[in-house]
Amino acid sequence: MKVLISTYPFAEYDRSPIKLLEENGCEVILNSSGHKLSADELASKIENVDAIIAGTELLDRKLLSNAKKLKIISRVGIGLDNIDFTATDEKGIIVAYTPDAPSLSVAELTIGHILSLLRYIDTSTEEIRTGVWKRHTGHLLSNKRVGVIGVGRIGKLVIKILQSFNTTIVANDIKPDFDFAQKYNFKFVSKEELLKTSDVVTIHIPLYKKTYNFISDSEIDLMREDSILINTSRGNIVDENALLQGLISKKLAGAGLDVFSEEPYNSARDSKLAQMKNIVLTAHMGSCTRTGRYLMEYGAAEAVVDFKCGRKLKNLAKID
């Protein structure tokens, strides 16, 4: 069984996922490019492979038409917006993913973004590097009202962590888990109420047709003056031009982004967000802790081995 590992890096800190594949009779083909593969690069590699262990590379109908033998895509991570499920269904390609593995890593980075914005950590770091010594008076996270949009795996972990900061939490979700809300003492509210009343808004929803530009001009207009917006989910969920205008007008006090509409993000090409002083930017690294990365990689490799051996897969992915 030929297995293309298209994501990069892979097994950088622990070779166990590769060892698992090889011990189960898989021929492993690594992405040795040192970067995320372009569509053309990937197209030249997938014609004769049986499995792909994928990252965020675009796997659309055009690309998958080159995959003559492909039987399974095993996603390293949780996002599935890069996969054309209509095409995979038509071709009989199974899609697996690792939804639990990166959740805590993303949740912790979300809290990091919030704290950096409230206490000017990123701003002070840049100032000190340029010889400026300035003490900024920020805000406590304690007693803030935090709105969590999307209470799935990651949203629930964010809420659990926020409990220790003595925050008031409100949430919005299309399928509210009222038992969880009762246990952790928060309430579900409408999207509009959440935006109007929250000091911090953090987004944890998947990207699909209905959530494209889920936060745009009208939503930012609803938000409180001096509130902050965090997006560690998917770039196109937030309209970056609307966000930029919200920061320029100082309607928003700040924003934290780990994801962008085009990645890798290029400030010269994509927008002026990187020029703003009241924003924290990270390079889609929410899942990038050593533990989180290992769990994702091993889980993705395990799914390929389970498929090869005829065992039931733990996490099959389907998009409604």
Who's near 3: CB < 8 A, 6+ residues apart? 21, 26, 27, 28, 29, 49, 50, 51, 52, 53, 304
Closest CA to 239 of 255, 262, 215, 258: 215
- Which are the contacts of 209, defined by CB distance < 8 A and separation ≥ 6? none
Q: For residues 100 and 140, give the distance between their C-alpha atoms in angstroms, rounded to a whole number.
A: 30
Residue pair 220/242 in contact by the 8 Å Cβ criterion: yes
Three-class DSSP category at 52: strand
Alpha-carbon distance of 121 to 284, in angstroms, equals 19
For residue 223, what are its two tokens? 């938000």
User: Which two tokens mark 208?
Assistant: 């699909």
d(CA 224, CA 239): 18
Alpha carbon distance, N-terminus to C-terminus of the chain: 30
For residue 202, give both structure tokens.
């953090």
Q: Which residues are catalytic?
A: 234, 263, 284
